[in-house]
Structure 1
Amino acid sequence: MFYGSVVWDPWLIVAQIVCIQCLYYLTLGFLMAILVGTRVSRLSLVYFFDYATITLSTVTGWCIIASFLLSSIAGAGFLLFLVERAKKCLDHAATVYIIHLSICVLYGGWPSSITWWIVNGTGLAVMTWLGERLCINRELQEIPISRLRSSVDRQTNSGRD
């Protein structure tokens, strides 16, 4: 099958979405534990899903913002290894943030903070752009033909003996 041919596999797509979402939250949790956990007495889901915690007026708020933005950079790496196609990066990154928005709405209501929207919009843009760049760089790498040729030559020469 050719590399460019499109095969629609809904189970693969769902598995990629679940994996990327889980890895995103694991990374976010790890970064929150490092950056925010040292500043607060008890780390809870409030820092993940309540829009009011993302604020520019406290050092803890800045640490939360840094955690979200660093998680989006890590998310680009997850796109590189799980999605592997530049043209699918926007779809998967947007899905991560739409699911995050849905959880935030269920947890704390509709985000009314402009800071929340800016942080998550920037995170989406960073994850998409960096994921596409990484995937494009991988797609443009040369395919090592010399190794392929040497194995074909060996097979051809062994058939002549």
Structure 2
Amino acid sequence: MFYGKSVWDPWQIVAQIVCIQCLYYLTLGLFMTVLIGPRVSRLSLVYFFDYATVTLSTVTGCCVIALFVLSSIAGAGFLLYWIKRAKKCLDFSATLYIIHLSICVLYGGWPSSITWWVVNGTGLAIMALLGEYLCIKREVREIPISRLRSSG
């Protein structure tokens, strides 16, 4: 899906960005339910968008860090499925994290925690590099020659 001619199609790009962003937050929510749900009385958007929850000083904060890293790994798989091109992985990963930063700024102010920046920078690197690696592995696969030729 979303792969074909190399014609510039802005609607396709916007659709890919929306798909990747939604899948990223869906995965983040699923991991949050598993990792943080049992630890807190009520899940909220604060764990998604407030930089203060990304901390090494509490067990819940460490779980938040783990879920962001796990979501970036899953994001690399989304890039493989939706984007399919290694040269586009960095662009879509950076776009995802820029949108995430924008939402975080609107939700809780400018992130002043160095831990937040390290976690999100690491997540961006993991998502872009792993996505590129997976896409390159797919791009350089040998094309199987089918047995459609007549044997004689």
TM tier, smaller? over 0.9
For the aligned residue pairs, the C-alpha RMSD in angstroms reads 1.6
How far apart, in 2, do the equivalents of 1:15 and 1:99 lie?
A: 14
Offset of residue 140 of structure 1: 0.5
Query: Which structure dedicates a bigger proportion of its chain to helix?
Result: 1
Displacement of 1:5 in angstroms is 6.3
SS of aligned partner of 1:130: helix
Aligned length: 149
d(CA) in 1 for partners of 2:6, 2:71: 30
Counterpart residue number, 1:57:
57
> 2 CA distance for matches of 1:103 and 1:130?
24
Match in the other structure for 1:31: 31
In the alignment, structure 1 segments of 5+ residues that lack a partner are none
1:107-126 correspondence runs (5 A): 107-126=107-126
Identity %: 78
Bigger radius of gyration among the two: 1
Q: Measure, in 1, the Cα distance between the counterparts of 2:143 and 2:124.
A: 31
* Whole-Å separation in 2 of the counterparts to 1:5 and 1:30: 34
Letter of the 2:136 partner, please give it: I
Pairwise CA distance, 1:102: 0.2
Gaps of 5+ in 2: none
The amino acid that maps onto 1:25 is Y
CA distance in 2, matches of 1:116, 1:66: 12
Q: By how many angstroms is 1:4 displaced?
A: 9.4
Structure 1's consecutive aligned runs of 4 or more residues displaced over 3 angstroms after TM superposition are none
Offset, 1:144: 1.2
